[in-house]
């Protein structure tokens, strides 16, 4: 007997693992992405993630249009975050061009942004329930979600893509005679919130499927730069609304919500993700209420005429950054304006899913194939927000680039666009 065979440990034999592909088209995924899981029985021992299936070149398209056209395009980066991207984008452009936004417009932007958080988190909760095979909860949650969609339609005219923010303000008012509709919807949610918490957090079968599943420790969340509810579920007190208040958030005392607010120790698992998102719905209701009660009077736009606005933007030059706490986490838009041209010189979008992508790896490892759908859903991924790159060679074959090469390529690009 030689030494090699003595030192061989259980699980070292390579033949025991096999690979199961999930995606780009799979019932567990709402949008295309490809996972490749190495399985030992039902246990995940390795995972490879391949994004890039929903790349549409939207930044490039935006740079071929005038700024107001690009604004409408920014709304179409994602259907669920259809206010988050324009909010970050308008802030970036206003920041670059030095345009002031009237207080009333800031409050209205906040109201719509928080309403979006309500419906986005409820959408997520329903999807999560479906991934667990709990369709009853999916249907009930989405039924409840309709109220926020109806309210958004009442206030903006649209259920998605609200077309509310514009550079220097907002396009539509929230008139006093419609405020009672908003209060009605808020009361509806307040009365249902305890029921939702009972249905999700005090349900034995949900707890069995989500507790200690897809855990992300505090250190891992920090190390991998996770954002939004994904980071907060791990106990990281990180929220743009708290850390760098903007819009109406500066007038309120916003605190990042972690599972500690529910009275439990943060573990970063799927259960904690549910806690954080449900409590954030409650927080959003409070924010909307505050905004409605303290809605300042005044104008909606500091430059109300569109030709004047376009002219002002054409004259402006410089770079600007806009940040917004989207339902999924921090979204950042970077823009560079060049004097004398109507188009953007540079537009860079970093969606929250991009930051949370790597958090998937520790979340998946060690869990079972049965946990794949709910762990994939736990970061509330949005591929169409995130996919900014797709690599292909002339023959159409996809290629893989390693870190050094990617760094070199991105530096080259930065030099190119910064002239």
Partner 1 sequence: MSATLLNAVWQGLIILVGGTFLGMIYKGLDRKLAAQMQGRIGPPLRQPFFDVVKLMVKENVVPDHAVAWLFNLMPLVSLAAVGTLLFYLPLGGFEPLLGGFGDLILILYLLAVPSLAMVLGGFAAGSPFATVGAQRELVMMMAYEFPLAITLLSLGWYLSSVMPGAQVFSLTVLASNPLWGLVGPLGFIGLLLLFCALMIVTPAELTKIPFDIPEAETEIAGGILAEYSGRNMAMFYLADAIKMVVMGSLTVALFFPYGLSGLLGVTGGIWGSVIDVAFYLVKVFVVIFFAVIVVRVAFARLKIGQAARLFWLPITGISLLGMVLLMLDRIV
HSE toward the beta carbon, residue 356, CA cutoff 13 A? 31
Phi, psi for 323 (deg, rounded to 5):
-120, 145
The answer to whether 125 contacts partner 1 (rule: CB under 8 A) is no
Piece in contact with partner 1 (CB under 8 A), picked from 50-58, 105-113, 123-131, 380-388? 123-131
Q: In Å, what is the CA distance from 79 to each residue of 55, 76, 120, 394, 399?
A: 15, 6, 10, 32, 29
Q: Which is nearer to partner 1, 350 or 363 (CB)?
A: 363
Q: Nearest-CA neighbor of 292 among 147, 190, 180?
A: 180
By the 8 A CB rule, do 261 and 108 touch?
Answer: no
The distance of closest approach from Cβ of residue 297 to partner 1 in the complex, given in angstroms and rounded to an integer, is 42
Q: Which is nearer to partner 1, 188 or 218 (CB)?
A: 188
3-state helix vs strand vs coil in the chain, percent to 5: 55, 15, 35
Piece in contact with partner 1 (CB under 8 A), picked from 13-21, 97-105, 113-121, 229-237? 13-21
Q: How many CB atoms lie within 10 A of CB 215?
A: 21
33-52 mask for partner 1 (x: CB under 8 A)? ---------x----------
The distance of closest approach from Cβ of residue 232 to partner 1 in the complex, given in angstroms and rounded to an integer, is 24
Residues 312-371 that bind partner 1 (CB under 8 A): 368-371
**Alpha-carbon gap, residue 375 to 128, rounded angstroms:** 9
**Alpha-carbon gap, residue 89 to 83, rounded angstroms:** 10
Residues 198-217 that bind partner 1 (CB under 8 A): 203, 205-206, 208-209
The distance of closest approach from Cβ of residue 11 to partner 1 in the complex, given in angstroms and rounded to an integer, is 18
The answer to whether 410 contacts partner 1 (rule: CB under 8 A) is no
368-397 mask for partner 1 (x: CB under 8 A)? xxxxxx------------------------
Three-state DSSP state, 59:
helix
Residue 398: beta bridge partners? Answer: 392
Site for partner 1 (CB under 8 A): how many residues?
31
Q: Which is nearer to partner 1, 284 or 378 (CB)?
A: 378
The answer to whether 27 contacts partner 1 (rule: CB under 8 A) is yes
The answer to whether 133 contacts partner 1 (rule: CB under 8 A) is yes
Longest distance between any two alpha carbons in the chain, whole Å: 88
**Alpha-carbon gap, residue 208 to 267, rounded angstroms:** 15
Q: Which residues in this chain contact partner 1 in the complex, by CB under 8 A?
A: 18-21, 26-28, 42, 129-137, 139-140, 143, 203, 205-206, 208-209, 368-373
């Amino acid at each position: 007997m030689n030494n090699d065979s003595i030192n061989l440990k259980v699980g070292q034999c390579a033949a025991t693992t096999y690979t199961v592909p999930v995606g780009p088209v799979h019932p567990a995924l709402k949008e295309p992405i490809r996972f490749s899981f190495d399985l030992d029985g039902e246990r995940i021992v390795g995972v490879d993630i391949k994004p890039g299936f929903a790349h549409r070149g939207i930044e490039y398209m935006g740079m071929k249009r005038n700024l107001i056209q690009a604004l409408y395009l920014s709304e179409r980066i994602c259907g669920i975050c259809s206010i988050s991207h324009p909010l970050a984008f308008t802030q970036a452009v206003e920041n670059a061009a030095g345009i002031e936004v009237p207080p009333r417009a800031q409050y209205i932007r906040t109201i719509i942004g928080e309403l979006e958080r309500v419906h986005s988190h409820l959408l997520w909760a329903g999807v999560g329930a479906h991934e667990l095979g709990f369709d009853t909860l999916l249907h009930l949650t989405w039924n409840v979600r309709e109220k926020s969609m109806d309210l958004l339609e009442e206030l903006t005219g649209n259920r998605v893509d609200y077309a509310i923010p514009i550079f220097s303000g907002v396009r539509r008012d929230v008139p006093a005679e419609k405020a009672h509709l908003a209060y009605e919807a808020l009361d509806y949610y307040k009365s249902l919130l305890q029921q939702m918490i009972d249905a999700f957090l005090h349900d034995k079968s949900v707890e069995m499927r989500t507790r200690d599943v897809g855990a992300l420790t505090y250190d891992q969340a920090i190390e991998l730069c996770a954002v939004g509810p994904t980071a907060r579920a791990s106990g990281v007190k990180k929220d743009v609304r708290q850390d760098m208040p903007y819009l109406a958030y500066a007038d309120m005392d916003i605190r990042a919500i972690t599972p500690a607010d529910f009275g439990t120790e943060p573990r970063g698992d799927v259960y904690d993700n549910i806690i954080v998102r449900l409590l954030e719905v409650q927080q959003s209701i409070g924010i909307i209420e505050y905004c409605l009660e303290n809605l300042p009077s005044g104008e909606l736009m500091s430059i109300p005429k569109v030709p004047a606005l376009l002219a002002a933007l054409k004259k402006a030059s410089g770079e600007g950054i806009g940040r917004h706490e989207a339902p999924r986490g921090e979204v950042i838009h970077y823009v560079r304006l060049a004097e004398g041209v109507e188009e953007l010189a540079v537009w860079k979008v970093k969606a929250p899913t991009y930051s949370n992508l790597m958090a998937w790896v520790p979340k998946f490892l060690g869990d079972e194939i049965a946990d794949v759908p709910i762990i994939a859903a736990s970061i509330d991924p949005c591929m169409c927000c995130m996919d900014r790159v797709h690599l292909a060679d002339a023959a159409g074959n996809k290629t893989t680039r390693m870190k050094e090469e990617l760094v070199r390529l991105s530096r080259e690009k930065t030099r190119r666009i910064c002239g």
